[in-house]
Amino acid sequence: MSKVIPVTSPLLPPLEEFIPYLEQMWESRRLTNGGPFHEQLEQALAEYLGVDYLCLFANGTLALVTALQALRITGEVITTPYSFVATAHSLLWNDLAPVFVDIDPVTCNLDPASIEKAITPKTTAILPVHCYGTPCDVEKIQAIADNYGLKVIYDAAHTFGVRQNGTSILRHGDLSILSFHATKVFNTFEGGAIVCPDAKTKKRIDYLKNFGFADEVTVVAPGINGKMSEINAAFGLLQLKHIDRALGMRQRIDQRYREAIGQIPGLELFTLPQGHEANYSYFPILVTERYPLSRDQVYELMRAHDILARRYFYPLICEFPMYRGLPSADLSKLPVAKRISSQILCLPIYPDLPDEVVDTICTLLRQGAGQ
User: What CATH number is associated with residue 175?
Assistant: 3.40.640.10
Burial of 355 (0-12, 13-18, 19+ CB in 10 A): exposed
pLDDT tens sequence across 147-164: 999 999 999 999 999 999
CATH code: domain of residue 312: 3.90.1150.10
Asked if 138 and 276 sit in the same domain, the reply is no
161, part of any domain: yes
Burial of 36 (0-12, 13-18, 19+ CB in 10 A): middle
Across the chain, mean pLDDT equals 96
Spatial distance between the Cα atoms of 10 and 124, rounded to a whole number of angstroms: 37
4, part of any domain: no
Asked if 277 and 219 sit in the same domain, the reply is no
116, part of any domain: yes
Asked if 133 and 81 sit in the same domain, the reply is yes
Asked if 139 and 77 sit in the same domain, the reply is yes
Residue 52's pLDDT band (cuts 50, 70, 90): very high
CA distances from 217 to 201, 212, 227, 366 (A): 21, 11, 19, 65
pLDDT at res. 154: 98
Asked if 233 and 247 sit in the same domain, the reply is no
9, part of any domain: no
Which residues, at least 6 apart from 356, have a Cβ–Cβ distance to it below 8 Å?
A: none
Q: What is the dihedral of CA 333, 337, 341, 345, to 10 degrees?
A: 170
Asked if 145 and 26 sit in the same domain, the reply is yes
pLDDT tens sequence across 203-223: 999 999 999 999 999 999 999
Spatial distance between the Cα atoms of 20 and 39, rounded to a whole number of angstroms: 17
Domain limit, last residue, from 238, 259, 275: 238
- Number of structural domains (the chain) is 2
211, part of any domain: yes
pLDDT at res. 274: 82
Short-list 135, 154, 370, 115, CA closest to 273: 135
6, part of any domain: no
For residue 68, pLDDT beyond 80: yes
Asked if 308 and 323 sit in the same domain, the reply is yes
For residue 345, pLDDT beyond 90: yes
Asked if 218 and 267 sit in the same domain, the reply is no
Q: Under a CB-based contact definition with an 8 Å cutoff, are residues 131 and 83 in contact?
A: yes
pLDDT tens sequence across 95-150: 999 999 999 999 999 999 999 999 999 999 999 999 999 999 999 999 999 999 99
**Mean local confidence (pLDDT), 194-201:** 97
Q: What are phi and psi of 161, to 5 degrees?
A: 80, 0
pLDDT at res. 350: 95
pLDDT tens sequence across 284-308: 999 999 999 999 999 999 999 999 9
Asked if 132 and 225 sit in the same domain, the reply is yes
Residue type, 309: A
Asked if 29 and 164 sit in the same domain, the reply is yes
5, part of any domain: no
Domain limit, last residue, from 185, 203, 238: 238
Asked if 302 and 332 sit in the same domain, the reply is yes
Asked if 211 and 269 sit in the same domain, the reply is no
Q: Which domain range does residue 346 map to?
A: 243-368
Domain limit, last residue, from 222, 238, 254: 238
1, part of any domain: no
pLDDT at res. 12: 81
For residue 2, pLDDT beyond 70: no
CA distances from 282 to 14, 216, 218 (A): 24, 44, 44
